[in-house]
């Protein structure tokens, strides 16, 4: 009953949150399961038609599923298709301290990219059941703060992989965005750090823009923010805050996927329940009018 009370509180607070003029709340849907691996979801990808999804747990598991949607494309039901641990590069089981997976990106070819904290790195999987193939690492990855490193992944239309750390190294220091072109890394972009929010997920929308999901843990709950940027050469421009929720509107949103619902841009997000009984796993959606 506690998780239902938390959700009810969030719905009651929706009217008090800050939304851009072109952003509208669509709905939230609880995703429950008795499977031991269910929970802790921190990475999310949604198909271009919004019908299927892949999620990554921060304990090294990957799940796929299907959304049943209404005529207005609101989520009505979630069906789990698969849920299993991802593999190490040499064995079929991720070793202890190597399974803190955080960021997820899936290439058009189907290759799966996963970023990790603890041992800061990015691995590629040819399929969900393949063993990992380590990517070359940027030298800065080794010095990143424990439990605050490579939180998010995204793939650009050019096929470049983008990632950034949860912490920048100082309250006024921008977040560096690392780019991998398939052979080498560079750091072309920087995202301004604003307030107490820290990045936890990002995606490139069908409009070619970068969407950044950020979280602010406020002691008794969470606030969430989504900022949008446009690419201009090797800079990010036209920063817009699409939503900035009040405390407790949603649970711990960590994964974001951006797709087009046929009319507008749709932001689908998922919460990480940290495998705690007083938190929930929920899909949350907002609409951004074109």
pLDDT tens, 40-64?
999 999 999 999 999 999 999 999 9
CB atoms near residue 14 (< 10 Å) = 14
Higher-confidence residue of 66 and 72: namely: 66
Q: Give the model's pLDDT for residue 8.
A: 47
CA 56/CA 251 separation, integer angstroms: 17
Q: Give the model's pLDDT for residue 210.
A: 98
User: For the chain, what are the domain ranges?
Assistant: 24-289
CA 148/CA 270 separation, integer angstroms: 19
Task: Please name the residues in contact with 276: beta carbons below 8 A apart, sequence gap of 6 or more.
Answer: none
CA 100/CA 223 separation, integer angstroms: 23
Instruction: Identify the weakest region by mean pLDDT among 4-8, 222-226, 242-246, 280-284.
Output: 4-8
Q: In what order do the strands lie in the sheet with 265-271?
A: 23-30, 282-288, 265-271, 253-260
Whether 5 shows a pLDDT value over 70: the answer reads no
Q: Give the model's pLDDT for residue 269.
A: 98
Show the tokens assigned to 127. Answer: 């399929």
CB 174 within 8 A of CB 182: no
Mean pLDDT of 204-228: 96
DSSP SS3 for 41? strand
Residues of the chain above pLDDT 90, percent = 84
Q: Give the model's pLDDT for residue 81.
A: 97
| Residue 13, H or E segment | helix 2-13
pLDDT tens, 58-71?
999 999 999 999 99
Strand partners, 67: 78
CA 175/CA 278 separation, integer angstroms: 31
Average pLDDT of the residues of the chain: 92
Angle at the Cα of 268 from the Cα atoms of 173 and 137, rounded to 5 degrees: 45
Q: Give the model's pLDDT for residue 11.
A: 52
Whether 273 shows a pLDDT value over 80: the answer reads yes
Whether 200 shows a pLDDT value over 90: the answer reads yes
CB 250 within 8 A of CB 28: yes
Of 4, 72, 61, nearest to 32 by C-alpha is 4
Q: Give the model's pLDDT for residue 12.
A: 46
CA 185/CA 182 separation, integer angstroms: 8
Q: CATH says 24-289 is which class?
A: mainly beta
Mean pLDDT of 183-189: 96
pTM to 2 decimals? Answer: 0.93
CA 169/CA 257 separation, integer angstroms: 27
Strand partners, 165: 150
pLDDT tens, 172-184?
899 999 999 999 9
What are the DSSP calls for 70-99, one per residue? -TT--EEEEEEEEEEE---SSSSSPPTTS-
Of 247, 249, 255, 253, nearest to 220 by C-alpha is 247
Whether 102 shows a pLDDT value over 90: the answer reads yes
């Amino acid at each position: 009953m506690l998780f239902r009370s938390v959700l009810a509180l969030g719905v009651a607070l929706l009217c008090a949150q800050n939304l851009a003029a072109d952003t509208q709340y669509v709905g939230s849907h609880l995703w429950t399961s008795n499977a031991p691996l269910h929970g802790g979801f921190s990475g999310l990808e949604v198909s271009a038609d919004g019908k299927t999804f892949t999620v990554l747990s921060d304990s090294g598991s990957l799940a796929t599923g299907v959304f049943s949607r209404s005529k207005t494309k609101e989520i009505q039901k979630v069906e789990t298709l698969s849920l299993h641990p991802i593999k190490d590069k040499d064995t079929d089981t991720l070793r202890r301290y190597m399974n803190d997976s955080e960021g997820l990106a899936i290439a058009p070819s189907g290759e799966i990219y996963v970023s990790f904290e603890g041992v800061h790195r990015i691995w590629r999987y040819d399929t969900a059941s393949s063993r990992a193939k380590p990517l070359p690492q940027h030298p800065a990855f080794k010095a990143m703060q424990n439990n605050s490193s490579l939180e998010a992944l995204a793939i650009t239309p050019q096929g470049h992989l983008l990632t950034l750390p949860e912490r920048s190294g100082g309250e006024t220091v921008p977040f560096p965005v690392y780019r991998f072109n398939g052979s080498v890394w560079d750091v072309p972009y920087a995202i301004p750090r604003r307030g107490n929010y820290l990045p936890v997920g990002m995606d490139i929308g069908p409009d070619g823009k970068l969407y950044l999901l950020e979280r602010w843990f406020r002691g008794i709950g969470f606030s969430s923010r989504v900022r949008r940027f446009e690419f201009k050469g090797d800079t990010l421009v036209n920063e817009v805050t699409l939503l900035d929720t009040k405390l407790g509107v949603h649970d711990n949103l960590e994964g974001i996927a951006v797709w087009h619902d046929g009319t507008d841009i749709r932001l689908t997000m998922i919460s990480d329940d940290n495998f705690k009984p007083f938190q929930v796993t929920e899909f949350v959606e907002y609409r951004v009018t074109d």
